[in-house]
Amino acid sequence: MADLNVERTTAVAPAEEDDYANWEIALWLIGILMIPGVPIAMVVLLTPWSGL
């Protein structure tokens, strides 16, 4: 029969918090979108035929 009064000898490590906050996710997405966006904006806005 199984022994019902068994204590664990090893403790389970608490889970580390790897969750990102919403603002951190938003910053990552903005940064990723700026990689192609900045050169495109520079060509559109800083070329002589852009009207500026």
Among 41, 37, 33, residue whose Cα is nearest residue 52? 41
What's the whole-model pTM score? 0.47
- The whole-angstrom separation of Cα 50 and Cα 35 is 21
Radius of gyration of the chain (CA): 27
Contact status, residue 24 vs residue 30, Cβ threshold 8 Å: no
Give the model's pLDDT for residue 30: 95
Encoded amino acid at 21, one letter: A
Which token pair is 28? 């990552």
Q: Report pLDDT digits (tens) over 7-46.
A: 877 776 666 777 889 999 999 999 999 999 999 999 888 8
